[in-house]
A and B are shown apart, each in its own frame.
Chain A
């Protein structure tokens, strides 16, 4: 059983389109995150939800909108995709917001043409 699973694993789309990435964790964790990893492997936090409530919202364009229907799911919707959005997006979870240790999904590679 995959602990943190993301779909799709690969996304190729045109500039201007809208796309979504879904994440589910079966670990019973309270807190989930979205991270962006660029081509140089730098990791940047985007959002965090604790029990469906947004607790971290870093400087991210409004085109990115996270949604957490329940504490096991955190989805990421991106409007009006731009070339610079091309990256690998990682979902992660942790038992509680202060735990520190993160459990990552396998990533979703987004390519914007």
Chain B
């Protein structure tokens, strides 16, 4: 079956540090890939997505590139802010499954 493996957390960084959260996947077919963010006390919201190989998704300074050869979709940001503190989920969706598969989530804390 489909699966998503994310870098284990928690991750603690200082403001303006570089962020990478690793995500790899296994899937039958050709998945679409997503990063969702969950701020404290809120639901998940889509951060960025990529629907085919070599696509780059980007939003709010975050980026991730769909790498089919390494089955990866790592999340990066050049300079994190305290307001980026949240839980980040990598997810995939395939058309034949009709559902999304989520990673376990990575908690990011950014200190001033």
The answer to whether B100 and A102 touch across the interface, beta carbons within 8 angstroms, is yes
- Report the bound CA distance from A45 to B100 in whole Å: 8
The answer to whether B46 and A102 touch across the interface, beta carbons within 8 angstroms, is yes
The answer to whether A100 and B93 touch across the interface, beta carbons within 8 angstroms, is yes
Give the interface segment out of B63-71, B74-82, B101-109.
Answer: B101-109
Is A55 an interface residue when CB atoms closer than 8 A count as contact?
Answer: yes
Is B32 an interface residue when CB atoms closer than 8 A count as contact?
Answer: yes
| B residues less than 8 Å from A45 (CB atoms) | 99-100
Q: What's the interface size class on A, roughly?
A: 20 to 34
Chain A, range 31-60, C-beta contacts under 8 Å to B: 31, 33, 40-43, 45, 48, 50, 55-56
| B residues less than 8 Å from A66 (CB atoms) | none
The answer to whether B98 and A102 touch across the interface, beta carbons within 8 angstroms, is no
The CB with the most chain B CB atoms within 10 A, among A31, A43, A48, A106, is that of A43
The answer to whether A42 and B105 touch across the interface, beta carbons within 8 angstroms, is yes
- Report the bound CA distance from A99 to B93 in whole Å: 8
Q: Mark B33-49 against chain A: 1 for CB-CB distance below 8 A, else 0.
A: 01010100111111001
The 3 closest A-B pairs by CB, nearest first: A100-B93, A104-B43, A97-B98
